[in-house]
Structure 1
Amino acid sequence: MYTNRPVIQVKKTLFERLFNMVAIVAFFAWMVYLVVDWASIPERIPSHFNALGEPDGWSSRGFIGVILFIGLIQWIGLSILERYPHVYNYLHLTEENAEWQYKNAIMMINVLKNSIILFFIFISWQSIQVATGAADGLGKEFLFIFLVVILGSSAFFLLRSVRKR
């Protein structure tokens, strides 16, 4: 299926390396915080929020680990996927534009994977804030911001890809 596509080794951009580093450092800093402060985290934390960012489901504090595990697995999976841009779906891929299309697609995956893990960190942090009474929820604007970042960045890179025929 992908035999006619060139397999090109694409070097990561400075932006991609920096964004990866920010996400990794944030993730491990959050893990250290959780280990150090585990005893002070309330036993019950919000595990679900409605569209207005209000908590409407509760679980044990161990649920934070589930959130972060899911975030880490998706980050690792998308990091692996970044290495194989020749297996993605493209419109009008040619020998002449393949390298540019691959770079664009890799950048899109990079932005998505790092944004998602940062959102997961924020959600787990905010869950603790709600459980301790320091916050009421994620905030009414959270869903809008999340959708703009995820769908907006996807649309941006897809539009760039279509324009670069």
Structure 2
Amino acid sequence: MDDKVRWTVCQKILLVLTLISFFGFIIYLVLCWDQIPERLVSKFNAGGEVIRYSKKAFTLVPMIMIEGILFVIITIISFFPAAVTNINATKHIQDDLNIYNQSALEHIRLLTRTIILITDLLFVNLFNAVFLSMIYSDSVLVQHRVTLYIIIGFAVLFAGTILFYYFRLRQIMKGHSR
């Protein structure tokens, strides 16, 4: 069976939005590098007092590199949705030569790629928002609140994505099991 899966318009839009978010933030950092404080807060104690500062280059550059590595890995995975689709679930569909089941397999792979691309977009924006809270907040309270709200928002969106995937997958399987 051919493992190539067509790209939908929605998937192309998600990929473009992720690229814009990732490279846009890097361009923003390059353009605003001089306005970013030379020393960033890197550690607070339990009382909320700053106990360690670090140079912006030693903080932001490694974090951008980590974000870049995750971005590249997740984006590459999105090009091969058949590799991450559950083998046992799709084997049942592949064994039956019914045209409906082949269609279900493609739907599952399209849905898998969409979920991977949504996750990629969420991760890139999570990293970018955490960087911005580090750069522009001197107060532990503000920084922790912003980071907490970002993480809660990410968790809610990610959980919603997983639930959407689960229920959509059930719908595909129910509609194509004949």
TM over 0.5: yes
Contact 2:37–2:135 (CA<8 Å) still a contact in 1?
A: yes
Q: Kindly indicate whether residue 9 of structure 2 is the aligned counterpart of residue 14 of structure 1.
A: yes
Partner of residue 70 from structure 1, selected from 57, 66, 71: 66
Cα 1:26–1:88, aligned 2, differ >3 Å: closer, same or farther? closer
Q: Map of 1:78-157 to 2, 5 A cutoff?
A: 78-90=74-86, 92-93=89-90, 94-95=93-94, 96=101, 97-131=104-138, 136-137=142-143, 138=146, 140-157=148-165
Q: What's the CA shift string for 1:115-141, capped at 9, x where partnerless?
A: 11011111112211114x6x9221543
State the partner residue of 1:160.
Answer: 168
Cα 1:162–1:67, aligned 2, differ >3 Å: closer, same or farther? farther
State the partner residue of 1:34.
Answer: 29
The structure having more radius of gyration, on CA atoms, is: 2
How many angstroms does 1:48 deviate by? 7.1
Q: Secondary structure at the match of 1:141?
A: helix
Cα 1:155–1:46, aligned 2, differ >3 Å: closer, same or farther? farther
Q: Percent identity?
A: 18
Structure 1: any 5+ residue segments left out of the alignment? 1-5, 50-54
Q: Secondary structure at the match of 1:45?
A: strand
Cα 1:151–1:46, aligned 2, differ >3 Å: closer, same or farther? farther
How many angstroms does 1:38 deviate by? 1.3
Cα 1:89–1:14, aligned 2, differ >3 Å: closer, same or farther? closer
Q: Secondary structure at the match of 2:107?
A: helix
Structure 2: any 5+ residue segments left out of the alignment? 45-49, 95-100, 174-178
Aligned residues: 153
Q: Normalising by structure 1, report the TM-score.
A: 0.78
- The CA distance in 2 between the partners of 1:47 and 1:71, in whole Å, is 18
Partner AA of 2:105 in structure 1: A
- Greater fraction of residues in helix: 2
User: Using CA pairs below 8 Å that are at least 6 residues apart, which structure has the higher relative contact order?
Assistant: 1
Cα 1:160–1:24, aligned 2, differ >3 Å: closer, same or farther? same
Q: Secondary structure at the match of 2:125?
A: helix
